[in-house]
Structure 1
Amino acid sequence: MEKLDQSVYSPSPTPEVPRNELWRMFDRIAQRYDLLNRLLSFGQDVVWRKKLARFLPEGECLEVLDLATGTADVIIYLFQKSARVFRAVGIDLAERMLEIGQQKIREHQLDQVVELKVGDATRIPFPDNQFHVVTIAFGIRNVENVPQSLREMYRVLKPGGRALVLEFSLPRSPIVRNAYLFYFRNILPRIGGWISGDHYAYQYLNKTVESFPYGESFAQLMTEAGFSRVGYKSLTFGVATIYYGDKLM
C-alpha cells in the first residue's frame, strides 16, 4: 500500500459544515449519538472499543487520556475491562457531548476517578510526560492536523507509555469493501440523518472514512510522530483498525 505523502491530513471543509462548525455538528447529534453508534454498527462499536483494553501497556495504576472522548464510552469500557486503569481524563471540543458523557460517568460511579473537560487534540492542555496511555476512538479523522495531534499524543505520554488509535478503515476484500461502501454511501446516511435529524453529519462520516489513510499509511504517520514498535490490528474484516505505538524515551 502506498504511504500517505501529504504533510498534513485534514478532512475537506464543505459549504454545509465549515471547519469552525464541525464541533457544533457533533453537539447537534449528541443526544442520539450513542444510540446511532449501536444501531449503525450493529453493536460492533462497543466490541471495538472494549478491545482497546487488550492493548494497554504493562504496569499498574495506569493514567489514561482519551482524546475526542465524546460521550466517554472508551473511558467507561477501559475501567470495566481492566482493573489496572487508575485514573482517566477525557477531552473534547463538543460541549454537549461532554455533558452527556459526564452523566454516564456519574451513572457508572466513576466521577471520583474521571475528569472530562473541553480540549483540543491538536493542542493538548497538559504538560509533557503526563499519561501512561493516550487513546482516541473514531476521532482522529476529525482533527484539523493529524500529524500535529499524533505529536501531541507522543508529547504527553510518559516514557514507556502507549498511544492507541481506533478508527474506521477500508476492508481489503473487494467483496466486503463493496458491500461496506454501499452501506456507508447509501444506507447509513439515510438512517443516521432520519434518527438524528442532521442528514449531513452522516454524509460527512462517509466522506471522511473513504478519504482517511489506513493500515500502513496511518502506521507511517505514527512512526513519523516519534512512536516506536508501531503496529495495528484489523477488526471485523477490516472495517475498523486499532493502531498502537510506544514512547520509549
Structure 2
Amino acid sequence: MTKYAHDDIVPYGQSDLEKKQQVAKMFDSIAFKYDFLNRFLSAGIDVQWRKKAIHQLKNLQPKNVLDVATGTGDVAIMTWHLLKPEKITGIDISEGMLEHGRKKIEKLGLHPVIELQTGDSETIHFADNTFDAVTVAFGVRNFQNLEKGLSEMLRVLKPGGKLVILEFSRPRYPGFKSFYNLYMNIVAPGVGKFFSKNKEAYQYLNESVQAFPERENMVNIMNQVGYTNTSFKPLSLGICCIYCGSK
C-alpha cells in the first residue's frame, strides 16, 4: 500500500513508539479537555461541521452505524439525535477518550443504543458487510496507514453503504490562508498548552493537516481503494472538508 506524508507525522518526534501508539498516548493525555478545546478553538463551528457531515447520511437512513476514531463520542451522539439509527458503535484507540465518551452516553441515557469499544481503524474487528454507514470525524489524519484504514472501512460497509469523512484541510484564499496559518502555528498550540499542558498535541494537529492529501487527492485515494460516487465539499472557507464514498 502507498505511504503518504502524513502517515509519518507523529506527536512525539523523539519517541520510539509507532504512530498509532503515540496518537493513543496523546489523546489519553488531553481527553479531559478535548471537548472544551474543540469548542473553544473553533468558536463552536465544529458542531455545525459535524451536523453537516451526518446530514450526508439522511437519505440513506442507516440502521447500523460505525463511528471510527469516535473519541469522546460526539459524532455518535449527534448521529443518534439527527438520524435515530437502531445501533451505533464507536471505536477508538484511546481508552482515555472512550472513558469520557461512555460517561456522556450514560448521562444521556443512550447506552442501549450507542456502544463505545477499544478498536483500531486499520484492523476493524467486525465481519464484512456489517454496517449501513461509517463515519469518521477528524480521525483519518491519525491513521498510521491511510489506505489500510480506508480499505477496512470499505470492507465492513454493506453494499450500498456510505462512508462520510470530516477532516481538516488548508484554506486556499490568500488573505484567509495567512490568518489560518498564524492561528494553527501559534494560537492553537499556545491555547492547547495553556489548557491541557500539552502543546505537542496541537503542534501535531497543524503538522498533520499540512501533510494530509486533501480534496481531489483524497478523493483519488478513495477511488483507488474501491469507493464509488466519491465527492468532497469544503466548509468554512476550506478549513475542513466532507468526503463521501459509497460501496
TM-score normalised to structure 1 length: 0.93
CA displacement, residues 162-198 of structure 1 (integer Å, 9 cap, x when unaligned): 0011000011211111111110001110011110011
Alignment-mate amino acid for residue 15 of structure 1? Q
Of 11, 17, 37 in structure 1, the residue corresponding to residue 8 of structure 2 is: 11
Q: Identify the residue that residue 71 of structure 1 maps to in structure 2.
A: 72
C-alpha deviation, 1:21, in angstroms: 2.5
- Looking at structure 1, the residues matched to 217 and 143 of structure 2 have their Cα atoms a distance apart, in angstroms, of 17
C-alpha deviation, 1:12, in angstroms: 2.4
- Describe the shift of the 1:200–1:223 C-alpha distance in structure 2 as closer, same or farther (beyond 3 A): same
Q: Identify the residue that residue 3 of structure 1 maps to in structure 2.
A: none
Does structure 1 conserve the Cα–Cα contact (< 8 Å) formed by 2:61 and 2:83? no
Alignment-mate amino acid for residue 201 of structure 2? A
C-alpha deviation, 1:232, in angstroms: 1.0
Pair 1:40 & 2:41 matched: yes
How many residue pairs get matched? 241
Listed as ranges, the gaps of 5+ residues in structure 2 are none
- Describe the shift of the 1:141–1:75 C-alpha distance in structure 2 as closer, same or farther (beyond 3 A): same
- Looking at structure 1, the residues matched to 36 and 195 of structure 2 have their Cα atoms a distance apart, in angstroms, of 9
Which deviates more, 7-16 or 216-225?
A: 7-16
C-alpha deviation, 1:53, in angstroms: 2.1
- Describe the shift of the 1:59–1:171 C-alpha distance in structure 2 as closer, same or farther (beyond 3 A): closer
C-alpha deviation, 1:22, in angstroms: 2.2
Alignment-mate amino acid for residue 87 of structure 2? R
- Looking at structure 1, the residues matched to 30 and 204 of structure 2 have their Cα atoms a distance apart, in angstroms, of 13
Which of the pair is proportionally richer in helix? 2
Runs of 4+ residues over 2 Å off in structure 1? 16-22, 57-61
CA displacement, residues 95-126 of structure 1 (integer Å, 9 cap, x when unaligned): 01000000111122110011111000001110
- Looking at structure 1, the residues matched to 221 and 161 of structure 2 have their Cα atoms a distance apart, in angstroms, of 18
Identity %: 42
Alignment-mate amino acid for residue 7 of structure 1? T
CA RMSD between the two structures: 1.4
TM-score normalised to structure 2 length: 0.94
